[in-house]
Amino acid sequence: MKRILVTGATGKQGSAAAYELLKNNFEVFALTRNPQSSKAVDLKKAGAILVKGDLEGIEDLSGIFKKVDGLYLVLPPVWVSSRESDEKEAEIGMRTIKLAEEQGVKFVLYSSVLGSDKQNLFRPKFKFTIEKYLLESNLQGAVIRPASFMENLLLPSFGLAEDKFVNPLPEEKAISWVATNDIGTFARIIFQNYKAFNGKTVDFGDKLFTPKQVLNLLEEKLNQPIKFVQVPLAILYQQSETFAKLVEMIDKEGYDPIDYRFISSWMPKLTGFEQWMDEIGIEKIKELRSVDDQS
């Protein structure tokens, strides 16, 4: 298990996995639409082999699939989801897994999302569809379900560049958060121990935080007040019915408990929210503000 194809290699978790694998003597094939992008060039400098293409044209990549031992399958993010985008994602994921099976890939690690099985009730063809397709195939494979990315706080929709914290989630519901670098590290651990993880689904995240706890931590680290903006459910329904139903699901049911004991048996320490803010987050938020001030 030495040659790994990483899809979404210039994205948050794809790049985290690619760099972690490279640091641990894997040969990494990095799939990218644009090999000339700065992120792709950085990966190449780090030792990755760039592969131009995308998953929508997956059949064109059969030659690469023949060369690799493992596949880290990360599908492109969809920020405004719909039934159509869900179905398209499921189709691309299943086609990719089918090609991996046809070309003799030894092991596929699919990155899904926390609570994908519960979302199946209102998203009947989505990430859980891909999970089942992989685990019911003849391939060796595993599924990792990451929690909410800490890095997502840097997206414009959260409003931190304007001294706001725009929150679409239930105000008092605690959810798990995770740093994307930790996802990359755990992906590397899985590839190094792929036989032990074969057939497993791992919910992956760190401690629980309510939106107000995140707000308090941000205010403490930035040493200033931040306006808390709660997005009404009715507005979410106008923007994306599937996302609104996800928020309703979180409010009514929450997520299943994460098995921290299992995670720590393989990876003893995850990056805490406060550590992430100290090392990465606060500096990035300040950069966002400086760009906003100049525009």
Give, to the nearest 10 degrees, the angle between helix 282-294 and helix 211-222. Answer: 70
Interatomic CA distance for residues 292 and 222, integer angstroms? 16
> What pLDDT sits at residue 108?
98
In this predicted structure, the answer to whether residue 265 has a pLDDT above a threshold of 90 is yes
> What pLDDT sits at residue 291?
67
Average pLDDT, the chain: 94
> What pLDDT sits at residue 290?
76
> What pLDDT sits at residue 82?
87
In this predicted structure, the answer to whether residue 295 has a pLDDT above a threshold of 70 is no
Could you tell me how many helices (H) and strands (E) the chain has, helices first?
14, 12
Pairing verdict, β 49-52 and 70-73? unpaired
**What's the distance, CA 116 to chain centroid?**
13
- Cβ partners under 8 Å of residue 104, min gap 6: 65, 66
Interatomic CA distance for residues 175 and 249, integer angstroms? 12
pLDDT digits (tens, 9 = 90+) for 141-198: 999 999 999 999 999 999 999 999 999 999 889 999 999 999 999 999 999 999 999 9
Residue 229, H or E segment: strand 227-230
Least confident stretch, 42-46, 78-82, 274-278: 78-82
pLDDT digits (tens, 9 = 90+) for 116-141: 999 998 999 999 999 999 999 999 99
Per CATH, domain 3-148+178-205+257-271 is 3.40.50.2300: no
> What pLDDT sits at residue 78?
83
Which tokens in the block code for residue 221? Answer: 């680290």
Interatomic CA distance for residues 245 and 237, integer angstroms? 8
Interatomic CA distance for residues 34 and 27, integer angstroms? 20
Q: Which residues pair with 145 in a beta bridge?
A: 203
> What pLDDT sits at residue 294?
54
Question: Which candidate, 46, 17, 35, 24, places its Cα nearest to that of 109?
Answer: 17
Mean pLDDT of 260-265: 97
In this predicted structure, the answer to whether residue 79 has a pLDDT above a threshold of 90 is no
> What pLDDT sits at residue 13?
94
In this predicted structure, the answer to whether residue 242 has a pLDDT above a threshold of 70 is yes
Any idea where the domains of the chain sit in the sequence?
Answer: 3-148+178-205+257-271
